[in-house]
Every structure is written in C-alpha cells, then in structure tokens.
C-alpha cells in the first residue's frame, strides 16, 4: 500500500488530524441527558443538510470515577472532534470546570451550561442551541491539511458473532490490518475477555519477551475476572449461531489481529505512540466490582475511540445495526444469509468468501478501500443511517508499565 495515499483532514492544535469535524454535546450526569438530547435533536431538525455533525455523548453516573473522567476527556479531545458543549445539572461529581479547562487546553472551543444555574430545561435548551451555533462557526475555520495513511488509527471489534465470523469477516479484517501495519498505520484490536486461550500465541508475536509476559498476564486477569463474576463473554446468540465454546469464539476473535508483530498493550484512553499493532485491555484492574467488563459492544467501541481510533471495523455474523458517535463504524458481515437480510446496514459482505465468490485477500482489500474512502469523507452505512450510539460506565484501571510499550527496533 502506497504511503503517498492521502485525504483531507482537520488539523488540531495538538498536531493530530481528524477525518471528521464533529461537535459533541456531552451530558455529565444522567439528569442532564434529556436536555442534551433535545439540543442535538433540534440542531439536526434545523440543519437537515449537515445532519450528523453534532453528536450526543455523556456519562450517566453521579458519583466520582477517574476512568469516566479520563474517557470523557479523551473523547472530547479526539481528533474527529472540533468542539464541545458540556451540559451539567450542577450537583454531580464530574469535575466540569476541569474538563472544560482541559478541552480548552487542547485548542478546541468549548462551552459549559449548568442547568441549575441556567434556569431549567427550556432555558438550557435555548442556550445550548445558541452555543452549538457558535461552536460550529469556530470549528468551520479549522485548517484542512493532507492526512496520510500512516497517520490513521483503526480499531476493530466483533459483535453478534456466529460460526462464520472466524472464517470470513474476522480474518479478512486481519488481512486489512496487515496491510495497514505494513504502511505504518496504527491498528488496535481487543478484547482480552474474548482472547482466553490465545495468550501464548499473542505472547509469541510480541516484539519483546517482557511485552509477551504482560499480554499473558492481562488475559489471565480477564479469565480471573470472568470466573469470579460467574460468566464468560459468550452470549446465547453465539451458541445459536453455531459457536460451541469460548475457546472457539476466542480463536475467531483473535483472527481480526492479522499476523503482524504486536507492538504494545494499552488500556482505554492510552494513545499508541507509533504505528503498529496494539492489543487493548478492556477488563478492569483489581478485584471485580463493576459487573460485566463491558455491558455492550458500544462500550468497547468508545474505548477504542478513546485510544484515538479514527475508524472502527465492526465484524458481525448474526447481525448488528449499531454505529457510534465521533468515529465512523464500518460493518463487515461474516454470514451471507445475514447479509441478505441486513444488507442495508452493512458496508462489506465478507460472506462471499463462504460462497466461493471472493478470497480472504480480496475482501481484505475491499475493507481497506472502505477505510480509505471513509477517511476521505465518504459516510459509512451506519453514519448514513444516523447511528451515533454512545455508552460509558464505571471502571478502574492502573497505568500501564514500560514493558507494555517497548521501543520498536528498526531493522
């Protein structure tokens, strides 16, 4: 893949580049959710020609959580975000003034409305609409510059997996990842709870023995977490779709990573320091206390986005219709029957591999072309349909150590 491939992007003050110029309206507690949603809905109604450039995000919790703050900071200062409107009730624990200050420090315009001070629902919606108009005007003047393939960060996740996922869509994404890594782009795969049994294979792909040990330890942590909670990452729909064991599901999920060396192990909100392939550890540290590690696929999508992902590759066998706020989601359907039923929600039909109509390499190239097209401005199917799902809950993580991000040796 030629490193000369480029597409227009928005240059941020921190030097990062975005493929979208989204304004986020962020509620800082569930009590501010409705007001925030009404602001976004009314902006969309007033601006049909630019619908989709104002996204609703937020954190529902009232009590403090460092992970939630760091995630909100990461997504509000994501390269695809051009400005942020924060909506607070006024008595929640989220440090709204610090978040506002941190967003300003990133060079983005940001405003804060406190419902208890602004005058309630109607007054805050009115003020919010005015604020979004100001933020859009400022974001419209951000400099456009060329962005090259090696500057992209691409994340991947599988959801609604079935017996075809590990045969078609997942390994095809792996082919795409190999091409991106060869071009020195950054690729992120997850999730350690669905990679149980693959830890030794991944450790052998690590660029240092110490990183390999960290990978094995994080999978062991995930296994312990699930054992204590009394369940694993294996849904009834997985069994209905033909998967028989967690190990079988893990091998299918693992195939999304391709065959490139693993350059590092990161946690939600960590930005990979250089091109290469990275494993995202999404299982909380410490003893289990927050319930299921991720209560839906979208929780993991947001964690991939918090790590800087410009685009998300979502593979599915049984079918899924979700997208995401902030970063475009490209749907890769593994099962040809599912594709025929849900074609209007899919970008790539990897099921053609199963029917002998395409090879893994050909579908991998098609996925890569979709990444380039979407990065160049084409809307993915989920974007066209208006999908902007977002979910954030409580977690706790410890900082990664130096063994997790070893310096790559240049040959």
Give pLDDT tens digits for 309-364.
Answer: 999 999 999 999 999 999 999 999 999 999 999 999 999 999 999 999 999 999 99
C-alpha to C-alpha distance for 236 and 159, rounded to whole angstroms: 13
The contacts of residue 393 (CB under 8 Å, 6+ apart) are 60, 61, 68, 290, 295, 299
Distances (CA, A) of 400 to 191, 214, 272, 281, 289: 16, 10, 12, 10, 20
Q: What is the mean pLDDT of residues 377-398?
A: 96
pLDDT tens figures, 218-247: 999 998 998 888 765 555 555 455 545 555
What is the pLDDT, as a whole number, of residue 91? 96
Residue 34 Cα distances to 11, 56, 383, 400, angstroms? 32, 10, 22, 36
Q: How far apart are CA 157 and CA 277, in angstroms?
A: 14
Residue with tokens 């995930």: 222
| CA 26 vs CA 62, 159, 202, 237, 239: distances in Å | 14, 26, 37, 33, 37
Spatial CA neighbour of 272 closest among 325, 223, 318, 310:
310
Q: How far apart are CA 123 and CA 70, in angstroms?
A: 29
Q: How far apart are CA 202 and CA 213, in angstroms?
A: 10
Give yes or no for residue 28 having a pLDDT over 50: yes
Residue 365 pLDDT exceeds 90? yes
Beta bridge partners of 17: 11
Model confidence at 411, pLDDT cuts 50, 70, 90, reads very low
């Amino acid at each position: 893949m030629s490193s000369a491939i480029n597409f227009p992007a928005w240059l941020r003050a921190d030097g990062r580049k975005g493929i979208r110029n989204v304004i986020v309206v962020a509620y800082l507690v569930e009590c501010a959710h409705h007001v925030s949603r009404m602001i976004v809905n009314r902006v969309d109604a007033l601006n049909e020609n630019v619908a989709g450039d104002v996204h609703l995000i937020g954190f529902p919790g009232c009590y403090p959580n460092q992970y939630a703050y760091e995630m909100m900071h990461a997504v509000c200062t994501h390269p695809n975000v051009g400005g942020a409107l924060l909506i607070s009730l006024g008595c929640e624990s989220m440090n709204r003034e610090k978040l506002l200050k941190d967003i300003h420090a990133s060079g983005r315009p940001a405003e804060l409305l406190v419902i208890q001070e602004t005058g309630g629902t109607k007054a805050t919606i009115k003020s919010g609409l005015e604020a979004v108009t100001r933020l859009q005007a400022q974001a419209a003047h951000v400099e456009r510059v060329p962005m090259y393939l090696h500057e992209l960060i691409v994340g991947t996740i599988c959801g609604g997996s079935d017996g075809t996922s590990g045969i078609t869509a997942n390994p095809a994404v792996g082919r795409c990842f190999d091409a991106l890594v060869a071009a020195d782009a950054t690729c992120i795969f997850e999730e350690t709870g669905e990679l149980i049994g693959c830890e030794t294979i991944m450790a052998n792909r690590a660029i240092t023995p110490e990183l390999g040990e960290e990978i094995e330890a994080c999978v062991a942590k995930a296994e312990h977490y699930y054992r204590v909670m009394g369940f694993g990452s294996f849904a009834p729909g997985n069994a209905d779709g033909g998967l028989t064991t967690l190990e079988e599901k893990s091998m299918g999920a693992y195939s999304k990573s391709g065959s490139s060396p693993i350059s590092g192990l990161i946690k939600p909100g960590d930005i990979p320091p250089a091109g290469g392939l990275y494993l995202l550890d999404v299982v909380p540290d410490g003893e289990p206390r927050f319930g299921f590690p991720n209560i839906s696929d979208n929780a993991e999508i947001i964690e991939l986005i918090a790590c800087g992902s410009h685009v998300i590759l979502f593979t599915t066998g049984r079918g899924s219709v979700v997208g995401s706020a902030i970063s475009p989601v490209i749907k890769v359907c593994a099962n040809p029957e599912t594709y025929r039923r849900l074609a209007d929600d899919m970008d790539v039909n990897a099921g053609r591999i199963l029917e002998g109509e395409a090879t893994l390499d050909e579908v991998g190239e098609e996925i890569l072309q979709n990444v380039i097209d979407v990065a160049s401005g084409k809307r993915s199917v989920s974007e066209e349909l208006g999908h902007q799902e977002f979910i954030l809950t409580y977690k706790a993580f410890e900082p990664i150590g130096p063994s997790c991000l070893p310096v790559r040796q240049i040959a």
